[in-house]
Structure 1
Amino acid sequence: MALGISLVLLFMGDAARLYRLGFVQFIDAKLYDYRMRLTLPNKADDRIVILDIDEKSLKEEGRWPWGRDKLARLMDELFDHYGVVVTGFDVVFAERDSSSGLKVLQELGRNQLRNVAQFQSVLAQLKPHLEYDKLFADKIRQRNVVLGYYFSNSEHGSDRSVSGVLPEPVFAAGTFKGRPISVMRWDSYGANLPELQDSAATAGHFNPVVDFDGEVRRIPMIVEYNGAYYESLSLAVARAALGMPKLSPGYAPGKDKNYGGLEWLTLESSQGDLLVPVDAEVGALVPYRGARGTFRYISAADVLHERTPLAELQGKIVLVGTSAPGLMDMRSTPVGEVYPGVEVHANMISGILNQNVKQNPPYVLGANVLLLLVVGMVLAILLPLLSPMYGTLLSAGMLLLEIVFNGSLWQYGNIALPMAGGLILALALFALNMTFGYFTTERTKRQITSLFGQYVPSEVVDEMSKNPEQVSMEGESREMTILFSDVRGFTTISEGLDPKELALLMNEFLTPLSRVIYGHRGTIDKYMGDCIMAFWGAPLPEARHAYHAVLSGLEMQRTLSGLQPHFRERGWPPIHVGVGINSGRVSVGNMGSEVRVAYTVMGDAVNLASRLEGITKEYGVGVLVGETTREAAPEFVYRELDLVRVKGKDKPVAIFEPLGLAGQVEQSVLEEVQLFHQALDMYRKQQWDQAELQLLSLLKMAPQARLYQVYAERVAHYRNTPPGEKWDGVFVFKTK
């Protein structure tokens, strides 16, 4: 009984948020997702349409971002031809549009053609038509247009970054002073150009709440910046569709009737008040209607060319977003791991208008604690007194009662009451009484050792044994760093050795390189012939995964250099490896088939790491990292090498060569890096003569440097075949 009551108190503390039990939080999230999927209507809200910047639109109208003149024409089509009610943008217009060429013409007018009267006259006539930002602003003025923007938090207080202007706050500073409300706070933002914001009906932020497992279940209806409070895009669009009704807070009763917490937001519409229930953080649960694509998507190109029937847009709420590869704002949600952010907002708008947003008010916390107390004490006291059969019946009855009670609240009361705590507590008390005295610690250690001992160093296995709740073999999404290393010219090397000598050679260099990875807390994924694939950040989370990976790559090169004399003594050819490192969000866990599974990582960041390793030889460098790794590991000195588009990726990637830890790189190397960066800047500005002179100087300093030779050859090529004014400096690799 004492152990059972202790267990009850443990779960009650979690329910009261005095601390969090990770497994309860995880299971509760999955049960919420299950209830959501089980009760999906699986049909769209016909009032809401998503205007899609899809591949078709990009093919017909050009790459994104489009000129604001085209967006101005889009506004005319939507409001004048199709008669939409409101248009919301799930994009932000933070930078000015210079695509019209007006700046170039004005520069000519101020210089070469300043005395040409005819040019000046024509320029004056053209100017109003080429000021695309003003043109777009004029088109959204007096129209029901809601712009989008985002908030962010700087890592350091001095690094705050703001752009554009915010709309008027929905609540002034001090509105909730003294109330127990935990509004999400931000210190930076990226908003729209002043003239666009001034012309729009309003604007809303499109920041979701990303839960601990990476899924989007809630949207913060209001957030705080500099003391004032700003509404979400979905709330702003819903209000715009209703004629911009007043927004007012609804408070729960407190000890002092004037100081209760926020329980809902009220839209005081002429059609009747609409309530948006919110939680303690003023977030609202997204009432998803179905899987991705439930809402109607219409190609923007079809609207621009009036190919869409009037009935499909007339009187609709339109959200402008994108599904084109490389532009998609994808989220992981309860109804899909890859779900467009714009459709999340569509679901939220539908829920506000239909009044079917699940309630998760602050008092739910107290109700959950009380439920755990009743269920837990009944089982903790009665189970030790009952026989196994009656104990089983009592436990099953309590479980069934909890499920029915919770399901009824969900379906008929529209309340999302936490479910996992009660179910797990009932099962835990049953297991405790049925298996009293059975300890699982040693078995857990053996399981972890057998599962991960071949992947990770022994000290990491020990840590995992001490904290098994952090370890999962199930697939999950994490920020990680991946490393690929491969021997250059291995085919030629292998052809010159017999099989036994080749096997011995591979063991001689793979073993020390693997020890380097282990020494920096890396996990070896697999050996692929002469290639090593490793990653950092799993199975245990590692905050400095990028730092350890880059350190490993540099040490692998030093270790291999130290092995060269030994290889010469054995009569073996010299071994050189290229190392590619990249960081990003990937899927990690047991993957495979019913026949065979492996603990591995998958994702775009993994593919890019492999591509980076493949192009190290093109630049004659030993270690090459992507820009995300450079940002995540600022402790190193890097030389920027290029801006490339590797095979299989549309978006250009900046690549860098790590040279060593800051403070440990020789001054002469730093000076050489600075000279190369100057040459690179000249190269990108198409200053071919200056770039060539700088590169020749660098080649005198390092005649064997493949990097300088590569750029000297490119400069010679581009001097004869200029890339044109729109050249973005990107070098495209056609092969892996």
Structure 2
Amino acid sequence: MKFSNKWLKSYRFLACALITLLFMAHTAHWLHIPTLQRMENILYDLRLRTTVVNTVDPRIVIIDINEESLAKEGRWPWRRDKLAYLVDILFDYYNVKLLGFDVVFSEPDTSAGVELLEKLASGPLQKDADFLSTLETMRPQLSYDDMFAKSLENRPVVLGYFTSHITEKTPEVGLLPPPVAATDEHPFSPLLFKEKSYAANLPKLQTAALSGGFFNNPNVDEDGVYRRLPLLINYNHQVYEALSLALFKTLLGKPEVKFITGEGYGKSNIDSHLEGLEIEGFHIPVDQSGTLLVPYRGRQGSFPYVSATDVLNGVTDVEKLKDKIVIVGTSAAGLLDLRVTPVQNVYAGVEVHANILSGLLDQSIKSRPSYILAVELAELLSICLLAVFMFPRLPVFLSAIIFSALLIGGIAFNFYCWAIWNIDTVLASPITLLALLYGIQLFFGFFFESRKKKQMGNMFGQYIPPELVEQMSQSDEEFSLKGESREMTVLFSDVRGFTTISEGMEPQELCELINDILTPVTRVIHESKGTIDKYIGDAIMAFWGAPMHNPQHAAYAVRAGLAILQALTAIQKDFKAKGWPEIDIGIGINTGKMSVGNMGSQFRIAYTVMGDAVNLGSRLEGLTKQYGVRMIVSESTLLAAPEFTYRELDKVRVKGKHKPITIYEPLGVTEGISHEQLQILDLLNQGLHGYRQQQWATAQTIFEQLAERYPQDKLYPIYLERIAYYLESPPEIDWDGAFTHTRK
């Protein structure tokens, strides 16, 4: 039986990759996801509202054609002579610095009846000299458009007009102001908004004014909210500027506009996109369509409002308007210039232009640099990689903490870019993608990992501890019960003299004794991530390195052996309290290539290990009695677990093996070995060297010193006995210092 999670990882990866590609396509504007865009707009508005300055800018004043003005001065449009008077009083009495009109004067003013008088002069009264003379004298006073035009002359006045991309709705009316540039001079111009018609001011008015700019917004978001507004448009192969930009340029003396472009766009890699404008040292960030993000200061009222009727009647305090930038507009609902903005649902359109002009002066325009798309795409890709390669490997609680940290960190970084660097980056896409991919991991983890865990438990639960089953279920490694060859470590543990002990005990008491021995030993093996192979009466066989690969399998096995010996002390105390005989344990550990898998017959099968390396581990356990030690490991185990200190015991040939091996007794972790123990080990190594070099006298002296100092240690008398034998019967010439054991 084999559990494969390749298909699980494939489905998980494909789901994450597909969703990420959709989000990346939306961010790159190759695909439009309406829900995601609505979320982006909501988060943009929230971010804007939480960071607006909420202060009043006194530099810009709005002359408001409000309900009060309409009630006192009459319905709109007002006669041009009244507007001429408004212009005159603003410049001559209030001494304003700059005047802009957020209204258009596209039709002539016929309220004075000049056309009727001219018809009379060319008709019934054409021979009336007095009538004709009076008409010529009064004509300048009756032509209100001429009066208005005259008031505009030689003054810093900017008129407004609007454009349309639908020819049928807006025929070309009036005269456009001079363009900023010709489109054929700038390769980026095809990306600007292309308008097809316009309604501009009367030629005599536009000619008299210093400049003009469009006040409509061809880039209103799909939800109708004014978040951004183009500063430039493309009409009839000419580039025209917005009202706010025209006001800004006029304020600076109408300097030349420098277009900042970025190269390397498009398939040909030679296209250029507009990235900003440079005017007299002022940098204005725009996107490739010439659009900027409106830098709202706060709710409506972020600029002083003065009623138009109060200005006409001279009621307004001069200091409120002196040296101010003045924009004439309307907040009256009936004049249809109210907009929906991120900061307020009902917002005077004239204040939108005031916000832009204020932002241009303060250099507080938020930007989306050309490189930001690459950053955003990289962010989405990083989230996908984290979700695919990190979340599945983490416990649920830890992954939830990391998910929360990433979510909070992403939002905080986005706000930092917005507030500190004035950079606008997408927020809905990364946090939504992170939440979706995290949800996918939870979905697969809940519905499929539980199945994997159950199968792992069915396969290995009887051999390994539940903690290891849990670890295996969370691992990407595939596990199988089929036979395979691995580098592993095996441990054999046996109770010495158990046969003699069992002969004097009742069966029930004997079972209790066995359980009291095997239970703590098994617990130690499980805590050391070992796999129980089998119980053989009073003996235990365990191994490390399967079913999970564990590069430190030898170290875990040695650590388990030392822990078993520590547990033996508690077992002996417990046995003594119960009146049971004292027990001792022998442990053998070996590392090497072993065959592991389900082995047996069709009647009985078990997950076990086999091979020469396994047999050697059993032989090492048997040697513990002869050397008077409780644990012996092979040289291969020593090399695989160098963090422990070992005492060399002997160089031996075990039964069934011709090649000699060196055997060792683990003393503990190197950091815990005392200076005295190290001195004894050094002396022992000198004695072993003399013994193998057949320097019998030197070796005998050393082992006699050790035996005298440690009379309970069985190892030193063994060598003294061998030396006495070899002194009488010297070994053969090819003797390699190894001792051959004939018993298991």
TM over 0.5: yes
Aligned residues: 432
Cα distance in 2, alignment partners of residues 124 and 238 from structure 1: 41
TM-score for the superposition, normalised by structure 2: 0.56
Provide the identity percentage: 42
Cα distance in 2, alignment partners of residues 126 and 180 from structure 1: 49
Letter in 1 for 2:39: I
Alignment of 1:252-267 (within 5 A): 252-254=262-264, 259-267=271-279
Cα distance in 2, alignment partners of residues 328 and 214 from structure 1: 15
Q: Does structure 2 retain, via aligned residues, the 8 Å contact 1:181–1:262?
A: no
Q: Does structure 2 retain, via aligned residues, the 8 Å contact 1:180–1:260?
A: no
Aligned residue among 83, 91, 103 for 2:103: 91
Structure 1 residue matching 2:150: 3-state secondary structure: helix
Deviation at 1:280, TM superposition (A): 2.1
Q: Does structure 1 retain, via aligned residues, the 8 Å contact 2:367–2:423?
A: yes
Look at both structures and tell me which one has the larger radius of gyration over its CA atoms.
2
| Structure 1 counterpart of 2:261 | 251
| Structure 2 counterpart of 1:190 | 199
Q: Does structure 2 retain, via aligned residues, the 8 Å contact 1:5–1:377?
A: no
| Structure 2 counterpart of 1:121 | 133
User: Which region of structure 1 is more displaced relative to structure 2, 131-140 or 109-118?
Assistant: 109-118
Q: Is the aligned partner of 1:369 residue 2:377? A: yes
Cα distance in 2, alignment partners of residues 161 and 91 from structure 1: 17
Q: Does structure 1 retain, via aligned residues, the 8 Å contact 2:176–2:200?
A: yes
Letter in 1 for 2:205: L
Cα distance in 2, alignment partners of residues 202 and 426 from structure 1: 50
- How far does the alpha carbon of each residue in 1:545-591 deviate from its partner, in whole angstroms, 9 at most, with x for none? xxxxxxxxxxxxxxxxxxxxxxxxxxxxxxxxxxxxxxxxxxxxxxx
Structure 1 pair 180–24 and aligned structure 2 pair: CA distance change class (3 A): farther
Q: Does structure 2 retain, via aligned residues, the 8 Å contact 1:218–1:284?
A: yes
Q: Does structure 2 retain, via aligned residues, the 8 Å contact 1:87–1:317?
A: yes
Q: Does structure 2 retain, via aligned residues, the 8 Å contact 1:54–1:322?
A: yes
Deviation at 1:293, TM superposition (A): 2.0
Aligned residue among 60, 63, 72 for 1:51: 63
Structure 1 pair 115–181 and aligned structure 2 pair: CA distance change class (3 A): closer
Deviation at 1:323, TM superposition (A): 1.6
- How far does the alpha carbon of each residue in 1:151-184 deviate from its partner, in whole angstroms, 9 at most, with x for none? 102267xx7720001111101131222x486210
Structure 2 residue matching 1:112: 3-state secondary structure: coil
Structure 1 pair 59–212 and aligned structure 2 pair: CA distance change class (3 A): same
Structure 2 residue matching 1:60: 3-state secondary structure: helix
- How far does the alpha carbon of each residue in 1:293-318 deviate from its partner, in whole angstroms, 9 at most, with x for none? 22111011111111111110001111
Q: Does structure 2 retain, via aligned residues, the 8 Å contact 1:94–1:163?
A: yes
| Structure 2 counterpart of 1:225 | 235
Structure 2 residue matching 1:30: 3-state secondary structure: helix
| Structure 2 counterpart of 1:400 | 408
Q: Does structure 1 retain, via aligned residues, the 8 Å contact 2:52–2:296?
A: yes
Cα distance in 2, alignment partners of residues 162 and 115 from structure 1: 39
| Structure 1 counterpart of 2:245 | 235
Q: Does structure 1 retain, via aligned residues, the 8 Å contact 2:20–2:381?
A: yes
Structure 1: which 5+ runs fail to align? 440-736
Q: Is the aligned partner of 1:331 residue 2:336? A: no
Deviation at 1:27, TM superposition (A): 0.7
Deviation at 1:88, TM superposition (A): 0.6
Cα distance in 2, alignment partners of residues 381 and 331 from structure 1: 47
| Structure 2 counterpart of 1:211 | 221
Q: Is the aligned partner of 1:107 residue 2:119? A: yes
Deviation at 1:351, TM superposition (A): 0.4
Letter in 1 for 2:116: V
Aligned residue among 154, 168, 186 for 2:178: 168
Structure 2: which 5+ runs fail to align? 1-11, 448-744
Cα distance in 2, alignment partners of residues 295 and 227 from structure 1: 36
Q: Does structure 2 retain, via aligned residues, the 8 Å contact 1:8–1:377?
A: no
Alignment of 1:652-691 (within 5 A): none
Q: Does structure 1 retain, via aligned residues, the 8 Å contact 2:20–2:380?
A: yes
User: Which region of structure 1 is more displaced relative to structure 2, 367-376 or 249-258?
Assistant: 249-258
User: Which region of structure 1 is more displaced relative to structure 2, 168-177 or 138-147?
Assistant: 168-177
C-alpha root-mean-square deviation of aligned residues, in Å?
A: 1.9
Cα distance in 2, alignment partners of residues 245 and 438 from structure 1: 66
Q: Does structure 2 retain, via aligned residues, the 8 Å contact 1:181–1:280?
A: no
Q: Is the aligned partner of 1:79 residue 2:87? A: no
Q: Does structure 1 retain, via aligned residues, the 8 Å contact 2:183–2:189?
A: no
Q: Does structure 1 retain, via aligned residues, the 8 Å contact 2:22–2:31?
A: no
Structure 2 residue matching 1:163: 3-state secondary structure: coil
Structure 2 residue matching 1:435: 3-state secondary structure: helix
| Structure 2 counterpart of 1:149 | 161
Cα distance in 2, alignment partners of residues 422 and 380 from structure 1: 15
Alignment of 1:176-575 (within 5 A): 176-177=186-187, 179=188, 182-208=191-217, 209-254=219-264, 259-268=271-280, 273-436=281-444
| Structure 1 counterpart of 2:76 | 64
Q: Does structure 2 retain, via aligned residues, the 8 Å contact 1:250–1:264?
A: yes
Cα distance in 1, alignment partners of residues 54 and 407 from structure 2: 29
- How far does the alpha carbon of each residue in 1:4-29 deviate from its partner, in whole angstroms, 9 at most, with x for none? 22222221121121101111111111
- How far does the alpha carbon of each residue in 1:195-220 deviate from its partner, in whole angstroms, 9 at most, with x for none? 11111111000122210111011110
TM-score for the superposition, normalised by structure 1: 0.57
Deviation at 1:258, TM superposition (A): 7.3
- How far does the alpha carbon of each residue in 1:491-537 deviate from its partner, in whole angstroms, 9 at most, with x for none? xxxxxxxxxxxxxxxxxxxxxxxxxxxxxxxxxxxxxxxxxxxxxxx
- How far does the alpha carbon of each residue in 1:260-301 deviate from its partner, in whole angstroms, 9 at most, with x for none? 321111112xxxx10110012110000000111221110111
Letter in 1 for 2:421: G
